[in-house]
Homo-oligomer: A and B are copies of this chain.
Amino acid sequence: MRDLRQTTVIGLGLLGGSITLAALRCFPKVKVVGYTHRGVTRRKAQQLAAAAEIVDDIRMSVSGADLVILATPIRTFEQTFGQIADALPKGCIVTDIGSTKVLPHRWAAKRLPKTVHYIGSHPIAGSEQRGIEFARDDLFDQATCILTTTKATNSDALQSLRGFWSKLGCSVKLMTPSEHDRVFAGISHLPHVVASALINANDSSTLKFAGKGFIDTSRIASGPTNIWADVLLTNADNTTKGIDKVIAELLKLKKAIRSEDERQVEKLLKSARDRRAELIDYKIKEKEIIL
């Protein structure tokens, strides 16, 4: 990213802190500014030297920035866009790293001035941990980062943002916001819902016998509750449609089991098994999984 002089990250949790640390490492000449409203997080960020400047004034944090990255919960974005709107330099690129993209695009169109360029980002990285103390400067290395664009997206801004994430180690892909939200409902938001439902469907006396299978299947349900509530609520249509599809599949299996229809039970399990095998083959071919 040729002209990047200052990048500002709003929100210094695991992801925001990892962005500032990665930017410090990958862009040694760029000024990295971090903002968080929490005093305790600012002190931790300072101890970790997570940014060149760590500030408590959100409008001041974005003044002079060429790139502003929101790394707070999704449902704070609209308000944050409003707060920073008239402090943003002209030509500035604004992005966010929320896991849903339709609403952020809508809020950006509503709240941000026409003089700045909004593009959505969704770096597929993270962990069940939370907090800047778990931030890592290589968190985005080898991750996929989806950028969401519309017909109105400025191509120079897109080029610059793509360069930023690439430099951090990401493989960048483009999607429309609605395509993104539909796809991620299926492969990310729905698994979270299903894992949570699976745990809640078991009583504690049963759970204590759980083995590796259950523990793996339910792992993602250990993600931060508020972040995930945010994701589900900002992708409500796709998520609830997905829930309906899962329920339909569960009912097919239930019916086959109830009627002792061995062929149908095997067929449904085989379909899942074959499609997962296909998925793994694809991931190996694309070198997204190294065996």
Please list the residues of chain A having a beta carbon within 8 angstroms of any beta carbon in chain B: 124, 144, 182-184, 186-188, 190-204, 206-211, 213-223, 225-226, 228-229, 232-233, 236, 239-240, 242-251, 253-254, 257-258, 260, 262, 265-266, 268-273, 275-280, 282-283, 289
Q: Which residues of B contact A279 (CB under 8 A)?
A: 207-208, 210, 215
Q: Are B217 and A265 in contact (CB under 8 A)?
A: no
One complex includes copies of this chain to the number of 2
| A and B contact pairs by CB, cutoff 8 A, 12 listed | A144-B211, A193-B253, A194-B246, A195-B272, A198-B249, A200-B249, A201-B245, A210-B283, A217-B220, A221-B269, A228-B269, A247-B251
Shortest Cβ gap from A139 to chain B (Å): 13
Q: Are B265 and A229 in contact (CB under 8 A)?
A: yes
Instruction: Compute how far the CA of A258 lies from the CA of B243 in the bound complex, rounded to whole angstroms.
Output: 11
Instruction: Compute how far the CA of A206 lies from the CA of B175 in the bound complex, rounded to whole angstroms.
Output: 12
Known: A188-B214, A194-B250, A208-B279. 16 other contacts (CB 8 A): A183-B209, A186-B201, A186-B202, A194-B197, A197-B250, A199-B276, A200-B272, A200-B275, A215-B289, A216-B217, A222-B273, A222-B277, A225-B269, A233-B257, A239-B257, A243-B251
Instruction: Compute how far the CA of A76 lies from the CA of B79 in the bound complex, rounded to whole angstroms.
Output: 64
Instruction: Compute how far the CA of A248 lies from the CA of B198 in the bound complex, rounded to whole angstroms.
Output: 10
Shortest Cβ gap from A229 to chain B (Å): 4
Q: Which residues of B contact A193 (CB under 8 A)?
A: 250, 253
Q: Which residues of B contact A211 (CB under 8 A)?
A: 124, 144, 187-188
Q: Are B229 and A272 in contact (CB under 8 A)?
A: no
- Of listed A200, A207, A239, A282, residue having the most chain B CB within 10 A: A200
Which B residue's beta carbon lies closest to that of A266? B229
The 9 closest A-B pairs by CB, nearest first: A197-B249, A196-B272, A201-B245, A199-B272, A186-B206, A187-B210, A191-B217, A186-B202, A229-B265
Which B residue's beta carbon lies closest to that of A246? B201
Q: Are A200 and B273 in contact (CB under 8 A)?
A: no
Q: Which residues of B contact A254 (CB under 8 A)?
A: 240, 243-244
- Of listed A183, A218, A233, residue having the most chain B CB within 10 A: A218
Q: Are A253 and B196 in contact (CB under 8 A)?
A: yes
Instruction: Compute how far the CA of A277 lies from the CA of B129 in the bound complex, rounded to whole angstroms.
Output: 12
